Amino acid sequence: MTPRRTIDVSRLPTYAFGHHALTWWATWSMILMEGTMLVILLISYFFLRTAVPEWPPAHTLPPNLFWGTLNTAIILVSVFPNQLAKKAAESLDVKGVRLWMIVTLLFGVAFAVVRIFEFKNLNCHWQQNAYGSIVWFNMGFHTAHVLTDMVDTVVLIVLMFVGPIEGPRFVDVSENSIYWNFVVVIWLLIYSVIYLAPRFL
């Protein structure tokens, strides 16, 4: 009986970044699914808009532009520490990952705090009419994404301090950064629809 051929795989890496990692595919699959949901929400918004003669409805002002614009500035600036955290993770730089993830988290906290004021200044209630429902649903959809990523970021920060600090942990940080960028992009779309479209379209 001839012996089976074997290959020594002991030198192959146990983790990888980008499309070589299973978590990269999982992250992008989730982004694709959630992005599809966002498209459906935005289409619903414009469908409802075409069904009525006035949008927002009579005696309803568009959301207060100040709070939404302030949050847009906050989330855009958060992209920079987020990218630095991703770069540090892919360089296996523990100190850099810790620093930039904490900075990114602080921007997330600031965004969440301002979001409270946004909700208070939407100038509509979710149960008021179709306009109020779709505005609140879009805002709630995005808020859920912000909070989800903030929880994930907190968990990763804790793990980067208490360990064990292994290669796959850096991959998790890199994928978390990709997801935050998605959160930024969907906010820009929602901001354009909820805040700008009623004023300029």
Alpha-carbon distance of 157 to 111, in angstroms, equals 19
Residue 14 lies in a domain: no
Residue 70 lies in a domain: yes
Q: What is the dihedral of CA 51, 52, 53, 58, to 10 degrees?
A: -160
Residue 161 lies in a domain: yes
Alpha-helix runs per DSSP H in 91-166: 94-120, 130-162
Alpha-carbon distance of 158 to 183, in angstroms, equals 22
Alpha-carbon distance of 197 to 134, in angstroms, equals 14
Alpha-carbon distance of 193 to 47, in angstroms, equals 13
Is the whole-model pTM more than 0.75?
yes
Dihedrals phi, psi of 184, to nearest 5 degrees: -65, -45
Q: How confident is the model at residue 14 (pLDDT cuts 50, 70, 90)?
A: low
Residue 111 lies in a domain: yes
Residue 97 lies in a domain: yes
pLDDT over 90 at 12, yes or no: no
Label residue 18 left, alpha or beta by phi (over 0 means left) and psi (-120 to 50 means alpha): left
90 is in which domain, residue-wise?
Answer: 61-199
CATH assignment at residue 152: 1.20.120.80
Q: How many domains does the chain have?
A: 1
Residue 53 lies in a domain: no
Tell me the average pLDDT across 110-123.
97
pLDDT tens per residue, range 140-168: 999 999 999 999 999 999 999 998 888 88
Residue 95 lies in a domain: yes
CA–centroid distance for 46 within its chain:
23
Q: Nearest Cα to 193, choosing from 140, 123, 134, 149?
A: 134
Q: How many CA atoms lie within 13 A of 5 on its CB side?
A: 0
